[in-house]
């Protein structure tokens, strides 16, 4: 009795591929083909029916793809070794398939004559071909007041002792004082001087006695004469004069304070003099004055910034050249006005200027950017900093305000942002184009691989096994070659049309043409490439349209092929007229286009249900219709007609009165 061969079921949505594969597997004499199918549901059914040793499973199929079908196949036929057979390069597919239970992964690029051997290698070493009902089911496992004690009645001589004590105390203070002191006659001669004054003048105290104080004023005796005049003649109580000191090694400046000592009638008896060294104080004040002057000059010279002061209530108290240039007001025009004049009306209404001062007083400073108004009413974008100003006593005396015109900078930033956005958009478009190209290449390779494999395998089979093949097998293989060649030709035509559409190089040669004839031609073309397609034609009424026949046929053909490929039979094609246009309506018996797919239905490379087809058919159909001043749209179905309808519209040939 002859040895029983391992059995195999071949599943592929391409009838041509199935024809070649089954023929070669049979010819190999190594496997027995017991069934073949075109989608995952058929695979599950055939696996249950035949319990095959092997099942060769395509991935990309309608209704149910290979990965979806795999668990079901193994559930109904646990011992079947499922081998995934795909036109896609592995890229992780093998691992995914193996995780689902597949025994192996074979690319369709494998030479056809090696297929049987590769399949046998997936079988267990001790393979026993079980009967259809002998195979065990696979198990599946599914985380105090007190008085003054010194108070005593006065004793004789007490008052004099008190006076003497006070006088002695005065002399001690006079001599030991850190400030220069002297007693002068009413004409300015020194009669007594303390050590601090002599040190200040660079001499001994006795050297000053009898000296005219005017000689110590570095040539400004006139100042002393005027001060003494005020005391003696004008009854002044205190007179101050500043002068440099003569005859000292270091330059010194002093402040002399003259106060008369008067009798009971108010007549001046002599003059008490205090002299204070103010050299460092005046130097510091001079430096401060110079610094303030430099700062004023600097502020006045700055033209790029408006720098001005406000009083505690917000009124302008100073104004620099930059403020005049930026805001347009002169100092005489603006000083005394409230700074709210610089704000738009809506900001004044909401008391935003006052809010800024409150914030600056509360936190020390306040800054912002916003629109401000010039004297002429024009606006500018301002960068503003307001700082609260306090004196040495910590009293708030106003605000310093610095404003910079940032209009040009803002415009530059906006332009830069716009350029950045444009660049990002361009990059996104480039990335999209790159992604499209990548997808295009992947899809094209996939679409080319199947017919190319069919042609190659068929030709090889016919050339090497012509005599061994039955007439029916030869006819079937020859038909597969013809169908694959037509499929390749159509793919090339779609690619060329897409290229011309992208380059705006598509040329039309319109002429009055019977629409029914064009539609009929498209139907026959689809039937020749899809022998099993069920297409019903309703080509009445016949109308004339102005069209390039070849291009319009291509558009209609793509719509019919799309319905045949993605929908369910039968496909119905009809003609309609209305509103000066003709309509070609294509409907099938399927469930229609899912809502999530419709938005990108007519985009290039949009395949909708995965990696099946080039995704160019609907794109080309719409582009060709629009080139004819028409369009292609998808009208969703209803409860009675769930599949929806693809409608191509094209203008009718104008009548003689048009």
* pLDDT tens per residue, range 309-368: 999 999 999 998 889 989 999 999 999 999 999 999 999 999 999 999 999 999 999 999
pLDDT band at 213 (very low <50, low <70, confident <90, very high): very high
What is the predicted pLDDT for the residue at 366? 95
Q: Which residues contact 290 (CB under 8 A, 6 or more apart)?
A: none
Question: Please, which pLDDT band fits residue 591 given cuts at 50, 70 and 90?
Answer: confident
Instruction: Give every CB contact of residue 493 below 8 A, 6+ residues apart in sequence.
Output: 554
> Which among 90-99, 313-322, 529-538 has the top mean pLDDT?
313-322
Q: Which of 127-131, 138-142, 511-515 has the lowest mean pLDDT?
A: 138-142
Query: How is the beta sheet containing 32-37 ordered, strand by strand?
Result: 32-37, 7-11, 54-57, 81-86, 104-107
Q: What average pLDDT score do residues 222-247 get? A: 90
- Residues 6 or more apart whose Cβ sits within 8 Å of residue 487: 451, 529
Q: Out of 5-9, 131-135, 207-211, give the one with best mean pLDDT.
A: 5-9
Q: Are 575 and 538 contacting, i.e. CB atoms less than 8 angstroms apart?
A: yes
Is domain 506-651 in CATH 3.40.50.300, yes or no? no
CA quadruple 25, 30, 35, 39: dihedral sign? negative
Nearest-10 Cα torsion for 522, 524, 530, 536: 90
Q: Which CATH superfamily is domain 302-405 in?
A: PAS domain (3.30.450.20)
Say how far apart CA 546 and CA 104 lie, in whole Å. 55
> Can you tell me the distance from the alpha carbon of 537 to that of 519, in angstroms, rounded to the nearest whole number?
9
Q: Which two tokens stand for residue 464?
A: 């090497």
pLDDT of residue 139: 30
Give the whole-angstrom CA distance, residue 402 versus residue 326. 11
Q: Give per-residue pLDDT as tens, 250-289.
A: 888 999 999 998 877 788 878 899 999 998 888 888 877 7
Q: Is residue 591 within 8 Å of residue 567, measured between CB atoms? A: no
pLDDT of residue 658: 47
- Residues of the chain above pLDDT 70, percent: 81
- The residue whose two tokens read 């004040």 is 285
Q: What is the mean pLDDT of residues 207-219?
A: 88
C-alpha 526/C-alpha 475 separation (Å) is 20
Exposure string over 614-635, b if 16+ CB within 10 A, otherwise e: bbbbbbbbbbbbebbebebebe
User: Rounded to the nearest 10 degrees, what angle do helices 407-465 and 15-28 cross at?
Assistant: 40
CA distance 205 to 198: 5
- DSSP helix/strand/coil, 84: strand
* Residue 159 pLDDT: 45
Which backbone phi and psi does 320 adopt, to 5 degrees? Answer: -100, 175
User: Would you say residue 146 has pLDDT above 70?
Assistant: no
CB-facing half-sphere around the CA of 529: CA atoms within 13 A: 21
Residue 572 contacts by C-beta under 8 Å, 6 or more apart in sequence? 535, 536, 538, 585, 586, 587, 588
59-63, 114-118, 195-199, 251-255: which has the minimum mean pLDDT? 59-63
pLDDT grade for 297, boundaries at 50, 70 and 90: low
By the 8 A CB rule, do 42 and 68 touch?
no
Considering the chain, what is the average pLDDT of its residues? 82
Q: How far apart are CA 33 and CA 6, in angstroms?
A: 9
pLDDT bracket for residue 648 (50, 70, 90): very high
**Matching fold, domains 7-121 and 411-483:** no
Are 94 and 84 spatial neighbours (Cβ–Cβ below 8 Å)? Answer: yes
- Average pLDDT for 523-541: 85
Q: Give the distance, in angstroms, between the CA of residue 394 and the centroid of all CA atoms in the same chain.
A: 47
CATH number belonging to domain 411-483: 1.10.287
Average pLDDT, integer, range 101-115: 89
User: Class of 166-283 per CATH?
Assistant: alpha beta
Residue 303 has pLDDT above 70, yes or no: no
Whether pLDDT at 443 is above 60: no
In this structure, of 171-175, 326-330, 523-527, 565-569, the range with the lowest mean pLDDT score is 171-175
Kindly report the pTM of this predicted structure.
Answer: 0.37
Alpha carbon of residue 153 to chain centroid = 97
**Where is pLDDT greater, at 122 or 264?**
122
Give the CATH superfamily of 7-121. Response regulator (3.40.50.2300)
293 dihedral zone (left: phi>0; alpha: psi -120 to 50; beta): alpha
Q: Does residue 416 have a pLDDT over 80? A: yes
Per-residue confidence (pLDDT) for residue 227, from 0 to 100: 93
pLDDT of residue 4: 85
Q: Parse the chain into domains and list their residue ranges.
A: 7-121, 166-283, 302-405, 411-483, 506-651
Tokens 């001087």 -> residue: 193
Does 161 score more than 80 pLDDT? no
């Amino acid at each position: 009795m002859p040895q029983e061969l391992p059995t195999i079921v071949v599943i592929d949505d391409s009838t041509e591929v199935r024809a070649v594969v089954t023929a070669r597997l049979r010819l190999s004499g190594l496997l027995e083909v017991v069934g073949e199918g075109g989608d995952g549901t058929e695979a599950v059914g055939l696996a249950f029916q035949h319990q095959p040793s092997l099942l060769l499973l395509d991935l990309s199929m309608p209704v149910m793809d290979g990965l979806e079908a795999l668990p079901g196949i193994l559930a109904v036929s646990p011992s079947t070794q499922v081998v995934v057979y795909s036109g896609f390069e592995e890229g992780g597919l093998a691992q995914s398939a193996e995780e689902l239970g597949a025994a192996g992964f074979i690319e369709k690029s494998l030479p056809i004559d090696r297929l049987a051997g590769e399949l046998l290698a997936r079988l267990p070493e001790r393979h026993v071909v079980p009967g259809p009902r002998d195979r065990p089911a696979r198990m599946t496992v599914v985380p105090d007041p007190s008085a003054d004690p010194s108070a005593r009645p006065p004793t004789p001589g007490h008052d004099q002792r008190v006076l003497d004590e006070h006088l002695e105390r005065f002399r001690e203070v006079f001599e030991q004082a850190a400030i220069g002191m002297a007693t002068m006659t009413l004409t300015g001669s020194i009669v007594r001087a303390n050590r601090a004054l002599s040190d200040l003048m660079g001499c001994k105290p006795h050297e000053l006695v009898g000296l005219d104080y005017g000689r110590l004023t570095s040539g400004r005796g006139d100042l002393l004469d005027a001060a003494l005049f005020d005391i003696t003649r004008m009854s002044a109580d205190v007179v101050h004069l500043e002068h440099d000191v003569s005859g000292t090694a270091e330059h010194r400046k002093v402040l002399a304070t003259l106060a008369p000592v008067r009798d009971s009638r108010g007549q001046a008896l002599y003059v008490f003099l205090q002299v204070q060294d103010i050299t460092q104080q005046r130097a510091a004040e001079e430096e401060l004055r110079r610094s303030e002057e430099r700062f004023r000059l600097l502020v006045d010279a700055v033209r790029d910034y408006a720098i001005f002061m406000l009083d505690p209530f917000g009124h302008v108290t100073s104004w620099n050249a930059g403020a005049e240039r930026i805001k347009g007001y002169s100092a005489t025009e603006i000083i005394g006005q409230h700074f709210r004049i610089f704000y738009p009306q809506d900001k004044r209404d909401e008391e935003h200027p006052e809010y800024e001062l409150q914030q600056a007083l509360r936190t020390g400073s306040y800054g912002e950017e916003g629109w401000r108004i010039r004297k002429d009413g024009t606006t500018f974008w301002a960068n503003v900093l307001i700082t609260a100003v306090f004196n040495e006593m910590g009293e708030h005396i106003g605000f310093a305000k610095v404003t910079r015109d940032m209009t040009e900078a803002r415009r530059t930033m906006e332009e830069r942002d716009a350029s950045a956005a444009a660049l990002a958009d361009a990059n996104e478009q480039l990335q999209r184009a790159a992604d499209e190209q990548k997808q295009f290449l992947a899809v094209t390779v996939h679409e080319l691989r199947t017919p190319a494999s069919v042609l190659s395998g068929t030709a090889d089979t016919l050339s090497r096994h012509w005599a061994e093949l039955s007439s029916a097998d030869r006819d079937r293989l020859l038909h597969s070659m013809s169908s694959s060649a037509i499929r390749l030709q159509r793919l090339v035509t779609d690619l060329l049309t897409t290229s011309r559409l992208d380059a705006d190089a598509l040329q039309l040669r319109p002429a009055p043409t019977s629409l029914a004839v064009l539609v009929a031609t498209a139907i026959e073309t689809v039937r020749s490439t899809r022998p099993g397609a069920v297409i019903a034609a309703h080509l009445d009424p016949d109308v004339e349209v102005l069209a390039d026949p070849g291009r319009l046929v291509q558009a209609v053909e793509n719509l019919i092929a799309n319905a045949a490929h993605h929908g369910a039979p039968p496909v119905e094609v009809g003609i309609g007229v209305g509103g000066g246009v003709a309509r070609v309506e294509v409907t099938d018996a399927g469930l229609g286009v899912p809502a999530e797919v419709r938005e990108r239905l007519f985009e290039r490379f949009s395949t909708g249900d995965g990696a099946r087809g080039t995704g160019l058919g609907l794109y080309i159909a719409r582009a060709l219709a629009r080139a004819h001043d028409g369009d292609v749209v998808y009208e969703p179905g209803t409860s009675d007609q769930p599949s929806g309808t693809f409608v191509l519209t094209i203008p009718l040939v104008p009548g003689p009165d048009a």
